[in-house]
Amino acid sequence: MRYSEASIARYIDHLAARKPAPGGGSAAGLVGAAGTALLEMVCNFTIGNDKYKNVEETVKKYLFDLTKTRENFIALVDDDVLAYSKIRDAFRTKDKKNIDKALKDGYYASDRACRLSKSTMEIALSLAEKGNPNLITDVGCGAELLRAAFNSAVFNCEINLKGLEGRVFADKERMNLNILKKKMDALYCKTIDKTWGRMG
């Protein structure tokens, strides 16, 4: 089934059930979408307000980008389930080439969640500075959810890389992932600092 088209209650029931998918990677997509949606709300309460006319065009651009990002996060809710199914089927074949391909596909899905979370955190930082201050706690909540989505996706990236036969690929991607983690951590800390600062 397509979880992106199911009710939240049904999805959560399946997440809790004694079945391997949906799991953490899929949940990361949902959490990322929720964090992104909160930032969209901040944009919507900033646009059209004369007090923030000087940043309106910038915030409109953010809103456009965030809406596309939310769609991508929602797609990951199902993409991760599909990636897991392919990995499970590949291990049943016991073919190392099939297994490596499936693990790489799973890695790429989770890596996409990491990169979406990081680029969206960049917008969160800017909104913490420029957005309607009446929505500043929503910026903070959005940042926390994006961080959770990122860290959750990292777990899945690591477990897929660990299973690969090709160590050159795994080592290179793990190095890229570590760089991304450092950037994300810095963005998150700045965003939360700005959030607390504007809360007074």
Per the rule left: phi > 0, alpha: psi between -120 and 50, beta: everything else, 94 is left
Residue 49: what are its φ and ψ, rounded to 5°? -105, 120
Number of domains in the chain: 1
Among the listed residues 132, 146, 135, the one whose alpha carbon sits nearest the alpha carbon of residue 187: 146
Find the CATH number of the domain harbouring 149. Answer: 1.20.120.680
pLDDT bucket at 138, cuts 50 / 70 / 90 = very high
Tens-digit pLDDT profile for residues 14-72: 999 999 999 999 999 999 999 999 999 999 999 999 999 999 999 999 999 999 999 99
> Is the pLDDT score of 200 beyond 90?
no
Residues listed for the chain:
200
- Residues 112, 65: contact at Cβ < 8 Å? no
pLDDT bucket at 166, cuts 50 / 70 / 90 = confident
Q: Which position has the higher pLDDT, 70 or 165? A: 70
Distances (CA, A) of 183 to 65, 121, 147, 178: 20, 10, 12, 9
Cα(46)–Cα(133) distance, integer angstroms: 9
pLDDT bucket at 154, cuts 50 / 70 / 90 = very high
- Return the pLDDT at 48: 96
- Residues 94-118 have a mean pLDDT of 96
- Return the pLDDT at 167: 87
**Is 0.75 topped by the overall pTM?**
yes
Count of C-beta atoms within a 10 Å radius of residue 77: 24
Cα 43 to the chain's mean position, in Å?
Answer: 19
- Residues 154-159 have a mean pLDDT of 97
> Is the pLDDT score of 4 beyond 90?
no
For 152-173, b/e burial (b = at least 16 CB within 10 A) is: bbbebbbbbbebbeeeeebeeb
* Full domain range(s) for residue 87: 3-199
